[in-house]
A and B are shown apart, each in its own frame.
Chain A
Amino acid sequence: MTFKTIWRQLRRNKLALFGLAIVVTFILMAIFAPWIAPDDPFDQNLRQSVEAPSSENPFGRDELGRDILSRVIYGSRISLTIGLISVGIGVAVGVPLGAISGYFGGIVDLLVQRLMDIMLAFPAMLLAIVLVSILGKNLTNAMIAIGIVSIPMYARLVRSSTLSIKENDFVQASKAVGRKDMGIITAHILPNLLSPIIVQSTLQVASAILWAAGLGFLGLGAQAPIPEWGAMLASGRDFIRHAPHVVFFPGLAIMITVFGLNLLGDGLRDALDPRMKL
């Protein structure tokens, strides 16, 4: 399946195009932040603390009097990176583990799944905190920790899908033709796993951004004064009663990103499925 045929499918799906537009907008926003942002995101102006949105500051100012619009724009750089990198780690490790575990079964399956059980036994947040404490407190390590925490979810999802896919006769046919196990996994199992992986990943980006916010809140993720959507939410929490705009705009940014990714993800899932050809 070539890029061209996928694009042709995707183009017919208006919602997916809308999602794609949102995602592309945020990516462009992240890349060109210094040129778009009206103000310096680090510039404090305590006399204008938690000032409501106005024509001068469309999103208002936060508790330290910084321009929220600029911080949201700069924040997209970090938040998008967190989402993509940690999901990337989860997919890159979790999918092969799950596929191998489900395909081979037996002792391999037992070992992989018990390892995943151990990871799942800890609350995800707690495990991430432990990992960051071990690796060292910074944003990169927070991304790695969130990626690692999401591995068991992929491993389990992929394993269960693999179990049902490998029962198909086309897997037996491939075996009958003499294909090696790894060839069967890459040619037959993985392509049929695409749909659940895409759906899980688009949702996981949102969770990753929020987990990163949680870690930031505990001082383990993005360190102040770096603008990051989750951290902005966390610090603005105290003013939610008399200055809701401080949490509203970063929250809106997260929501729109996730919304866009979900629309795009659903569209991609359909575009990649030959059975959905219009």
Chain B
Amino acid sequence: MIDSAAKDTGLGLQNGTGNSLLEVRDLYKYFPLKRGLFSRVSKHVKAVDGVSFSVKEGETMGLVGESGCGKTTAGRVILRLLEPTGGAVYFRGQNVFDLSYEEMRKIRRDMQIVFQDPFSSLSPRMTVKDIINEPLLVHNYPGGKARKEKIKELMEVVGLSPSHISRYPHEFSGGQRQRIGVARALALNPSLIILDEPVSALDVSIQSQIINLLEKLQDEFALTYVFIAHDLAVVRHISDRVSVMYLGRIVENAPVDLLFNEPRHPYTKALLSATPEPDPDLARERIFLPGDVPSPVDIPSGCRFHPRCPYRIEICSEEDITLFPVGREHEVACHLHVDDKVVL
């Protein structure tokens, strides 16, 4: 947990910046694995295993990592859709895990989420009107004509025709459905939206439309985004800063250009080397990682990446390591870079 002094200063965190809208401190989420006759909890799936980051107002933070690394779980714990195992999430300086049920309901209008799957995220038995109406209804937005006008306005803002207000989700394409999801998230004028792989279920041509929409909305409504994704090209395009996640923990965190041009962590390097390069003549070093991602139930000792790391040294299998700064706003969790550690 965190001491009150750190809380008061807003705690600049690792990258030494104040005025963060969202601060995640040592977030843990373990899922118990029940086994046997008496449901003994023998082991835990360590989906999120000590994640810390902060997001400044108006910024887009990309959270990347391969499937199963815990990025989606982290997003849901931040919104308390899942209860945390440990840690703290400060939203405007207030720990949301300390809030009562009622207080949490009130603060939810300020932090919203857009889901990955445009099919499962909209109830098949509700019209667009009902779907966008739900947040307004829950937070007692004036009813009647004003509310209908608001719904139509939201539809227009996200690029849907207001004349389709009485249609059902199945009458829309994937991209349009995702727009409905964005309109729902936008309905209460939130300041933070967690975008949980909002484009990875869409066709590439539609992806760019949705990305453009999200960027337009960010300018228009001064939104702060946490953009969860596994597609590096998309993340590079939209993010101001990127955190790379591996097996429940962030291994590198840097401004987007720095991360893509001077990656430090071997995992980040491997990820970047795996993205397709449009220029066929450009020779590149490709890093192939041996083996699979270890199970989040039995996390390797020492640095959790060491069994697959092509550059590992002796200490990697023995000593765990957490993020430390290696430059302005650049943090990495790797034994190879301990010598580059800087004090800010």
Residues of A within 8 A of B (CB): 1, 167-170, 172-180, 183, 187-188, 191-192, 194, 273-275, 277
Contacts of B44 in A (CB 8 A): none
Residues of B within 8 A of A (CB): 76, 79, 81, 104-106, 108-109, 112-113, 115-117, 120-127, 134-135, 138-139, 168, 170, 181, 184, 188
**A180 and B122 alpha carbons, distance in the complex (Å):** 18
CB distance A187 to B76 under 8 Å?
Answer: no
CB distance A191 to B123 under 8 Å?
Answer: yes
22 pairs, A vs B, C-beta closer than 8 Å: A168-B120, A169-B115, A170-B121, A172-B115, A173-B113, A174-B134, A176-B108, A176-B113, A177-B112, A177-B138, A178-B104, A178-B105, A178-B135, A178-B138, A179-B134, A187-B134, A188-B123, A192-B124, A274-B124, A274-B168, A274-B170, A277-B168
Contacts of B134 in A (CB 8 A): 174, 177, 179, 187
**A127 and B236 alpha carbons, distance in the complex (Å):** 66
CB distance A178 to B106 under 8 Å?
Answer: yes
- Interface majority SS (helix, strand, loop, mixed), chain A: helix
Chain A nearest CB from B54 CB (Å) reads 21
Contacts of A167 in B (CB 8 A): 120
The 4 A-B pairs of least Cβ separation, nearest first, read A169-B121, A178-B105, A178-B108, A274-B168
With both beta carbons as reference points, the residue of chain A lying nearest to B188 in the complex is identified as A177
Q: Which of B109, B117, B125 contacts A169 (CB 8 A)?
A: B117
CB distance A170 to B122 under 8 Å?
Answer: yes
**A254 and B125 alpha carbons, distance in the complex (Å):** 34
**A275 and B79 alpha carbons, distance in the complex (Å):** 31
Contacts of B104 in A (CB 8 A): 178
CB distance A178 to B81 under 8 Å?
Answer: no
**A169 and B104 alpha carbons, distance in the complex (Å):** 19
**A172 and B115 alpha carbons, distance in the complex (Å):** 9
**A273 and B170 alpha carbons, distance in the complex (Å):** 11
With both beta carbons as reference points, the residue of chain B lying nearest to A276 in the complex is identified as B170
**A192 and B79 alpha carbons, distance in the complex (Å):** 25
CB distance A183 to B138 under 8 Å?
Answer: yes
With both beta carbons as reference points, the residue of chain A lying nearest to B136 in the complex is identified as A177
With both beta carbons as reference points, the residue of chain B lying nearest to A194 in the complex is identified as B125
Contacts of A277 in B (CB 8 A): 168
CB distance A170 to B123 under 8 Å?
Answer: yes
With both beta carbons as reference points, the residue of chain A lying nearest to B112 in the complex is identified as A176
With both beta carbons as reference points, the residue of chain A lying nearest to B127 in the complex is identified as A274
**A178 and B185 alpha carbons, distance in the complex (Å):** 12
With both beta carbons as reference points, the residue of chain A lying nearest to B169 in the complex is identified as A274
With both beta carbons as reference points, the residue of chain B lying nearest to A168 in the complex is identified as B120
Among A176, A180, A274, A277, chain B packs the most CB atoms within 10 A around the CB of: A176
- A169-B117, A273-B124 known; 4 new pairs, CB 8 Å cut-off, are A168-B120, A176-B108, A178-B104, A178-B108
Do A179 and B138 form a contact, CB below 8 Å, given A172-B115, A274-B168?
Answer: yes
CB distance A177 to B124 under 8 Å?
Answer: no
Contacts of B170 in A (CB 8 A): 274-275
**A1 and B127 alpha carbons, distance in the complex (Å):** 9
Q: Which of B76, B109, B121 contacts A178 (CB 8 A)?
A: B109
Contacts of A172 in B (CB 8 A): 76, 81, 113, 115, 121
Contacts of A274 in B (CB 8 A): 124-125, 127, 168, 170
Chain A nearest CB from B44 CB (Å) reads 18
**A231 and B181 alpha carbons, distance in the complex (Å):** 57
Contacts of A273 in B (CB 8 A): 124-125
Chain A nearest CB from B324 CB (Å) reads 34
**A179 and B188 alpha carbons, distance in the complex (Å):** 13
Chain B nearest CB from A226 CB (Å) reads 43
CB distance B125 to A176 under 8 Å?
Answer: no
Chain A nearest CB from B65 CB (Å) reads 20
Q: Which of A173, A175, A177, A191 contacts B125 (CB 8 A)?
A: A191
CB distance B125 to A192 under 8 Å?
Answer: yes
**A130 and B165 alpha carbons, distance in the complex (Å):** 54
Chain B nearest CB from A179 CB (Å) reads 5
Chain A nearest CB from B229 CB (Å) reads 17
Contacts of B116 in A (CB 8 A): 169
**A93 and B118 alpha carbons, distance in the complex (Å):** 34
Chain B nearest CB from A33 CB (Å) reads 39
**A1 and B168 alpha carbons, distance in the complex (Å):** 11
